[in-house]
Structure 1
Amino acid sequence: MSHDAITSLLKESRKFEPPAEFARKARISSREAYDALYRESLDNPESFWRRETKDLVFRTPWTETLEWNLPHAKWFLGATLNITESCLDRHLSTPVRNKAAIIWEGEYGETRTLTYAQLHRETLLLADALAKLGVEKGDRVAIYMGMVPEVAVAMLACARLGAVHTVIFGGFAADAIRDRVHDSQAKVVITQDGGYRRGNVLELKSTVDKALAQPQAKSVQKTIVLRHLGDKCPVQMTEGRDVWWHDIVDPNGHATREATIVDAEHPLFILYTSGSTGKPKGVLHTTAGYLAGVHVTSKYVFDLQDDDVYWCTADVGWVTGHSYIVYGPLSNGATCLMYEGAPNFPDWGRFWRLIERHRVTILYTAPTAIRAFMRQGDEWPKKSDLSSLRLLGSVGEPINPEAWIWYHQNIGGGRCPVVDTWWQTETGAILMTTVPGASASKPGSTGLPMFGVVPDVVTKEGQSVGANQGGMLVLRKPWPSMMRTVWGDDERFRRTYFSDVEGCYFTGDGARRDEDGYFWVVGRIDDVLNVAGHRIGTAEIESTLVSHPAVAEAAAVGRPDDLKGQALVVFVSLRPGFTAGDALANELGNHVGKEIGKFAKPDNIRFADSLPKTRSGKIMRRLLKDVAAGRETTGDTSTLEDLSVLAKLRTSDE
């Protein structure tokens, strides 16, 4: 092994086979069936992708499946299409026409339902209005909205015209909007007056005004404003620039806007990811490959059936919302629940009441949310009837085994398969998981590769490591939904993703592959800790701590140490009924020593009410490194959900 190999420490032997009743009805019902499809996807991708995308609408079929000039891929060459015809039009001649596409609930309990026919009509009416404002094929449109049905309408309307949308999460401040508008040179911004979050009004339009007042945002010609809160959030309209959605969208108009037909590689959207320094990266996804990826993964990973009510709890401002609220589920004719508010408003039972009220069958949420629910105690889910659930999913970061078990038992009642999914903004679609009717699940493992995906665990030199040895997680072959470049900066694309391991896409993660071929992600390579000569992934130390009954969440980071080179500091938030103090800190240190080894005992355990997280729920370990080292915070903090969390951590250190 290379000297920089990652030591994998997590010992997890539990295994959960698919329930027989679930497997009997599943789209893929055995490991043999999965293996055959996976093999075909690699050996004969032409036949695989033609069959698996036969339900989608291509105006012109493709003549070549893949053209690969590393690092650039082109998929389905020669094909022409418009993605909205696969998500909307194709359903109108079937019973899906009158099926609910989006069931929406606001934070205060109001509900709306849009059928596929209604969503199609709303999309065409807005597309027509955008065209009248001068939006054309290839133009960029920024969307800064909350979780309302119109955010999906706005995305689809852009796609209808062949315009490129860039959705900006509705929690970002004005500077983040300015930067994304400037980089994409957006022509139009679509926003709303305001939205609710934990009972508070978020003034979205006024934030847009601050962004557009800056000279870097001069590309914007028009702003479309949806009236959502009305008198509860009055706004100032700038004459000549701002127009009301309801003034330009004619509710009595004829929804006849023809789809603009585009090439397979035509840009569909830009989604910005913030880096540790400098300007955010504009991840560019194109049309046909992205559609194929999200369509096939939605169908098989969530085992979508005609009567499912599917709820992905992500915000549309993140890639999970793009792929698994809008394009993936709609291309399969699924019914999606969309919720505007916070998971703990007005209390920690809100998610479970939503599931009971709408008879949700599939729940797809983040490990951070699961651990937050764990921390509040088992009594909250017990107050609601969760018997409608048949499948659970996890997304966003590795799920530690104890959170997996809690989710499986307390939310799924022990009867629901759990699909832990690994993927990235850059990958567009899920790349590793356990297909729920076909493969056993191992708590903490992200499972097996999806179709057409070839992951590997390697050294820096690109050599594959053995079973249960840690290394760098790479992807050896292109896949349809992969990002095509960084918008306006192809050199950054090459440098960021294809320069670390020759011939491979480097994911930035460390991982191991076990003797059954299952992958276990051990954390970001940047977060690997050098402890007593061992390179240890943060996920494994954190999982060990969360396995202790006192711990709800943990984040492990390193700090410079004159003697050891690097000292291990762990930030811990506790479950109810436990008290922070030296005695518990010693107990937790001994727990790590027992489960992993004395060399891995933390040098310092710090208790915190909460940990700094992005608005998508990921722990910002980079900021915790600064706190642990006693230095000022550097880099981009625009994605931090609550700045006060960082302030409290610094105060507690003084």
Structure 2
Amino acid sequence: MDFVANTDERFNCCEKFMKSAHITDIADYHRIYSLSIQDPDAFWLGIAEQFYWENGIKSEKIFSYNFDVHKDPIDVQFMKGSKTNACYNLIDRIIKSGLGERVAYIWIGNELNERKTITYNELKRRICKFANVLKNQGIKAGDRVAIYLPVSIELVVSMLACARIGAVHTVVFAGFSSQALADRIIDANCRLLVTADGSVRGNKLIKLKDISDESVVICKQRNHNLLACIVVKHLSIDLNDYNNNRRHKYNPKHDPTLDLWWDQLMSDASDDCPPVWLDAEDPLFILYTSGSTGKPKGVVHTIAGYMLTTALVFKYAFNYRDGDIFFCTADLGWITGHTANVYGCLANGATAVLFDGIPTHPNADRFWRIIDENKVNSFYTAPTAVRTLMKFGDDCVTKYPMPDLSLIALVGEPINREAWLWLYHVVGAGKCAIVDTYFQTETGAPMIFPIPGCIPMKPGSATLPFFGILPVILNEDGKELSGANTGYLAFKNAWPSIARTIDGNHERFETTYFRKFPKYYFTGDGAVRDKDGYY
């Protein structure tokens, strides 16, 4: 497959899209980009002023960092000394702006008739309840909580309840084995586990509680004991007879010395929980990314830098306009799910679709049906899914008009030209912007993508860097290559959402990202830059 862009092939957004684009002129992009690089303090201060800070913005210098491993330890600090809370800014701030009764999430289950919605007001109520549940179990600011749940509203509630009280969440993809779960619980020193009885993907029952029980045994064998295991009755969602019948086919074990039922704890908990005000540089979450060798790396992201960057990227990458509906197919166990489906969308007061299923169940038209029925404006998915769905033919797509869809974004890997053009012509009907994003767990948010409306699109290219991002291409000797070239992709400066460390192993963090090319963050990826400066 051809993954390298044709440097002469360009596409511009349609006239209708341009009327709603945040930036419509490439000159305006270059002007804002130059400011963000030349005066990052002023640029990010302007973004920070849109958020709430309990003691005001206290940093004399908004941004400071060291990328030279030979000079001092690698260090990034953003707004240190300012107090804030991510949950407050994502939920309370949005409610105070008058959007409390807006739908925050549309949850769609594995089956066609599984659908629930929740408003910002109700989401806050549940978050506060679960935050009190955590506190009642002895969880406090700085403690780590492992979350092993399917894509669900309860997963979002768990994440933001941790953020509200200053606990650090580590979400583990609910497809990982008991050994992988145990490794992450132990490595992050988690004190509590939130899991579910099970989930169904397609026609497959996944016994999450059994897997969790096995991981607890492994933890005990390695002298790591949990305070509690809180269990969501996910299979017991009383939506239809299929669920009711399915529930009785799997009765997980219950350990009265460890296991607690989510619904019982929530019914007894108060819905009043003031946020804990935390330093901007306090950790928000740990998310594991598989290393090429050795144990997985627990990447640490901090509160303010991650919150501001994800909010800004969400607005521009998806051309978010007030009232838009956003659908990202990524599991919340990955960084894309964290950034797009939770922190980025809620910080903008958006409505997001959470899908707990697979694209081919019960039919290969599932994504297109969801987009059409839920009036989705922006759709974010992976090239692998696109290539899979192409095989089922155009009819699966074209039978759904999808009149509200105006943007399709991509993440996870390069997309080949054929799949890009299929998205543009068949799925988007020539009216949708195609936004190909370059993104890593460690970067916290997309770094390179065509801001829709101002940067012409090229099939196979992520195009130009976002505000505040300074990519370079290096040769084997660490020399910067100019013009059209091929080499190693690195970043020359820091940005607010860059990971701060690998949990418990800063030396590994420095070795992995900063020793091969001192003074640069090395992505580990190769890149091509064309004659137009597109990556």
- Does TM, scored on the shorter chain, surpass 0.5? yes
CA-to-partner distance for each residue in 1:73-102, whole Å, 9 max, x for gaps?
A: 111122110101110001122331111100
Specify the alignment match of 2:255 in structure 1: 238
Amino acid across the alignment from 1:55: Q
Specify the alignment match of 2:62 in structure 1: 65
CA-to-partner distance for each residue in 1:217-259, whole Å, 9 max, x for gaps?
A: 62312000011113343211111211000111127x5421010
CA-to-partner distance for each residue in 1:24-70, whole Å, 9 max, x for gaps?
A: 22112211111111111111222211222332222131312112133
Q: 21-30 or 153-162, which moves further after superposition?
A: 21-30
Q: Is the 8 A contact 1:426 1:483 kept in 2?
A: yes
- Residues 1:209 and 2:201 are matched in the alignment: no
Alignment of 1:399-418 (within 5 A): 399-418=415-434
In structure 2, the CA distance between the partners of 1:10 and 1:405, relative to structure 1 (3 Å rule), is: closer
CA-to-partner distance for each residue in 1:476-503, whole Å, 9 max, x for gaps?
A: 0011000001111111001100011121
Q: Is the 8 A contact 2:198 2:205 kept in 1?
A: yes
CA drift of 1:13 comes to 2.4
- Residues 1:118 and 2:122 are matched in the alignment: yes
CA drift of 1:378 comes to 1.3
Specify the alignment match of 1:329 in structure 2: 345
Counterpart-to-counterpart distance in 2, 1:10 and 1:365: 20
2:79 to 73, 76, 84: 76
- Residues 1:30 and 2:36 are matched in the alignment: no
Q: Is the 8 A contact 1:56 1:331 kept in 2?
A: no
Counterpart-to-counterpart distance in 2, 1:223 and 1:363: 35
Q: Is the 8 A contact 1:185 1:219 kept in 2?
A: no
SS of the counterpart of 2:155?
helix
Counterpart-to-counterpart distance in 2, 1:150 and 1:119: 10
Specify the alignment match of 1:524 in structure 2: none
- Residues 1:20 and 2:23 are matched in the alignment: no
Counterpart-to-counterpart distance in 2, 1:357 and 1:21: 22
Counterpart-to-counterpart distance in 2, 1:500 and 1:107: 45
In structure 2, the CA distance between the partners of 1:445 and 1:62, relative to structure 1 (3 Å rule), is: farther
Q: Is the 8 A contact 1:329 1:336 kept in 2?
A: yes
Counterpart-to-counterpart distance in 1, 2:142 and 2:450: 37
CA drift of 1:10 comes to 5.7
- Residues 1:375 and 2:391 are matched in the alignment: yes
Q: Is the 8 A contact 2:489 2:524 kept in 1?
A: yes
Q: Which runs of 5+ in 1 are unaligned?
A: 1-7, 520-654
In structure 2, the CA distance between the partners of 1:129 and 1:9, relative to structure 1 (3 Å rule), is: closer
- Residues 1:229 and 2:235 are matched in the alignment: yes
Q: Is the 8 A contact 2:5 2:459 kept in 1?
A: no
Specify the alignment match of 1:528 in structure 2: none
- Residues 1:131 and 2:135 are matched in the alignment: yes
Q: Is the 8 A contact 1:323 1:428 kept in 2?
A: yes
1:188 to 192, 197, 200: 192
Percent identity, please.
Answer: 39
- Residues 1:300 and 2:316 are matched in the alignment: yes
SS of the counterpart of 1:247?
helix
Q: Is the 8 A contact 2:146 2:194 kept in 1?
A: yes
Counterpart-to-counterpart distance in 2, 1:238 and 1:346: 35
CA-to-partner distance for each residue in 1:365-389, whole Å, 9 max, x for gaps?
A: 0000111111221121112222220
Specify the alignment match of 1:594 in structure 2: none
Amino acid across the alignment from 2:175: G
SS of the counterpart of 2:405?
coil
Amino acid across the alignment from 2:183: D
Specify the alignment match of 2:519 in structure 1: 503
Specify the alignment match of 2:108 in structure 1: 105
Q: Is the 8 A contact 1:142 1:166 kept in 2?
A: yes
Amino acid across the alignment from 1:105: I
Counterpart-to-counterpart distance in 2, 1:81 and 1:382: 46
Q: 328-337 or 29-38, which moves further after superposition?
A: 29-38
Alignment of 1:458-537 (within 5 A): 458-519=474-535
Q: Is the 8 A contact 1:453 1:479 kept in 2?
A: yes
Specify the alignment match of 1:315 in structure 2: 331
Counterpart-to-counterpart distance in 1, 2:286 and 2:493: 23
Counterpart-to-counterpart distance in 2, 1:322 and 1:330: 11
Structural RMSD (CA): 1.4
CA-to-partner distance for each residue in 1:156-183, whole Å, 9 max, x for gaps?
A: 0011110000000000010000100110
Q: Is the 8 A contact 1:460 1:501 kept in 2?
A: no
SS of the counterpart of 2:441?
coil
CA-to-partner distance for each residue in 1:301-325, whole Å, 9 max, x for gaps?
A: 1111112110011000000000000
CA drift of 1:266 comes to 0.5
- Residues 1:50 and 2:45 are matched in the alignment: yes
Q: Is the 8 A contact 1:419 1:434 kept in 2?
A: yes
- Residues 1:275 and 2:291 are matched in the alignment: yes
Counterpart-to-counterpart distance in 2, 1:191 and 1:134: 18
SS of the counterpart of 1:77?
coil
Amino acid across the alignment from 1:170: A
SS of the counterpart of 2:130?
helix
CA drift of 1:21 comes to 2.4
Counterpart-to-counterpart distance in 1, 2:4 and 2:318: 30
Counterpart-to-counterpart distance in 2, 1:42 and 1:118: 40
CA drift of 1:199 comes to 2.1
Amino acid across the alignment from 2:63: L
Q: Is the 8 A contact 1:281 1:487 kept in 2?
A: yes
Higher relative contact order (CA 8 A, sep 6+): 2
CA-to-partner distance for each residue in 1:417-474, whole Å, 9 max, x for gaps?
A: 1010001000001100000011100111111111111000111222222322211100
Q: 151-160 or 49-58, which moves further after superposition?
A: 49-58
Q: Which runs of 5+ in 2 are unaligned?
A: 68-73, 237-246
Specify the alignment match of 1:249 in structure 2: 266
SS of the counterpart of 1:377?
coil
- Residues 1:218 and 2:224 are matched in the alignment: yes
Q: 43-52 or 171-180, which moves further after superposition?
A: 43-52
CA-to-partner distance for each residue in 1:334-380, whole Å, 9 max, x for gaps?
A: 00001111110011011111111111110000000111111221121
Counterpart-to-counterpart distance in 1, 2:64 and 2:404: 44
Counterpart-to-counterpart distance in 2, 1:248 and 1:416: 45
Counterpart-to-counterpart distance in 2, 1:146 and 1:358: 21
In structure 2, the CA distance between the partners of 1:131 and 1:9, relative to structure 1 (3 Å rule), is: closer
Q: Is the 8 A contact 2:5 2:417 kept in 1?
A: no
CA drift of 1:11 comes to 3.9
Specify the alignment match of 1:170 in structure 2: 174
SS of the counterpart of 1:14?
coil
Amino acid across the alignment from 1:27: H
Q: Is the 8 A contact 2:13 2:433 kept in 1?
A: yes
1:258 to 274, 281, 286: 274
Specify the alignment match of 1:607 in structure 2: none
Specify the alignment match of 1:533 in structure 2: none
Counterpart-to-counterpart distance in 2, 1:68 and 1:310: 34
